[in-house]
Amino acid sequence: MAERRGVLARGLTGWAFAGPATLLVVGLSIFPTVWAFLISRTRWNGIAIPRPLGWANYRLMAEDPELWDSVRHTFVLTALFVPSSILGGMTVAIALSQQVRLIKFYRTCIFVPFVASSAATGILASYVFNPQFGTANELLRRIGLPPQQFLEDPRQVLVVICLIALWGQIGFTAVVYLARLQDRPKDLIEAAMVDGAGRFRILWHIIVPELRPVTVFMVVWQTITALQLFDLVYTTTRGGPLSSSTTIVYYVFELAFQTRRYGYGSAVAYGLFAVTMVLTVGTILYSRRSKVEAF
């Protein structure tokens, strides 16, 4: 009896600590996730009575050219952004781990864009890359290159958005790499130098392998960042010109909050959820198999 009272009291205390936060976090994600699935099997504008459709919304996805365009844009953006943010972040971190003068100043400069919101970054970028008044074209003009349309050119827009995203994210990637570099094995590097290994070989055979767990983590993290890129698209192009920068997330936003197609919007969101899951789990399994302990 006393035993059971003890278990009960412990349970109450435990839940008194963990309950409120658990309720909020789980309630604001698991419950909406289930609800979104129910919505995705209906036709609904949020006002009228939802009409059950079964799997029709999911079948519709296969033959929706706008969706496949947005998938393609998202894919291009991810393929540009993930490798460049990782290579860039690693390079910057290695440079910032050197003991040279002004290093604190350099670190401040490179990290500071990370604290600017994506909305402010997007608005700033729409000025910098403005074809008429922007600095980017002014710089091109000064070095004798022809002006570009940047965000207003369907062929350039994704590259420019990727550059803007890199501006904000490289600092973050570099911080994470830098944290790892600062507790790297100094003895190993010194031993290699004594043995006459060149800088490049030290970099390739000691430092890069040392960073592999961070790299695996960063691949997952930045893939999710790229797949979910919304704020920048919203503040630079709103999906234009001619829908050439509509990403999947932006498409879901349009479906839901502009054309009020809640059912179909939820189905598309589920599609993206599935892709994110497959990519995340795939990367984790791959890293497990190749014995990189990132997770």
Smallest distance, Å, CB 59 to other proteins? 19
Please select the residue that binds other proteins; options are 42, 82, 219, 221, rule is CB under 8 A: 221
User: Could you tell me which stretch among 11-19, 48-56, 59-67, 75-83 binds other proteins (CB under 8 A)?
Assistant: 11-19
Site for other proteins in 47-86 (CB under 8 A): none
130: left (phi over 0), alpha (psi -120 to 50) or beta: beta
Burial class (CB in 10 A: 0-12, 13-18, 19+), 155: exposed
Burial class (CB in 10 A: 0-12, 13-18, 19+), 131: middle
Is 240 a residue that touches other proteins (CB under 8 A)? no
The residue behind tokens 């009960």 is 8
* Coil vs helix vs strand at 144: coil
Is 241 a residue that touches other proteins (CB under 8 A)? no
Please select the residue that binds other proteins; options are 77, 80, 85, 172, rule is CB under 8 A: 172
Nearer to other proteins, 72 or 184 (CB): 184
Site for other proteins in 138-167 (CB under 8 A): 138, 141, 167
Spatial distance between the Cα atoms of 80 and 102, rounded to a whole number of angstroms = 31
Nearer to other proteins, 135 or 208 (CB): 135
Is 102 a residue that touches other proteins (CB under 8 A)? yes
Nearer to other proteins, 46 or 83 (CB): 46
Please select the residue that binds other proteins; options are 154, 224, 241, 243, rule is CB under 8 A: 224
Spatial distance between the Cα atoms of 162 and 160, rounded to a whole number of angstroms = 5
Please select the residue that binds other proteins; options are 33, 55, 208, 286, rule is CB under 8 A: 33
Is 46 a residue that touches other proteins (CB under 8 A)? yes
Instruction: Work out the number of other CB atoms within 10 angstroms of the CB of residue 139.
Output: 11
Q: How many residues make up the chain in this entry?
A: 295
Spatial distance between the Cα atoms of 236 and 261, rounded to a whole number of angstroms = 24
Nearer to other proteins, 242 or 277 (CB): 277
Q: Do residues 60 and 41 touch, judged by C-beta distance below 8 A?
A: no
Is 24 a residue that touches other proteins (CB under 8 A)? yes
User: Could you tell me which stretch among 48-56, 57-65, 72-80, 170-178 binds other proteins (CB under 8 A)?
Assistant: 170-178
Helix ranges (H only) for the chain are 2-27, 30-40, 56-62, 65-96, 103-111, 118-128, 135-142, 157-181, 186-194, 199-202, 208-210, 212-227, 231-236, 248-257, 262-289
Smallest distance, Å, CB 155 to other proteins? 22
Nearest-Å Rg of the Cα atoms of the chain is: 24
User: Could you tell me which stretch among 48-56, 65-73, 116-124, 154-162 binds other proteins (CB under 8 A)?
Assistant: 116-124
Smallest distance, Å, CB 158 to other proteins? 19
Total number of residues binding other proteins (CB under 8 A)?
109
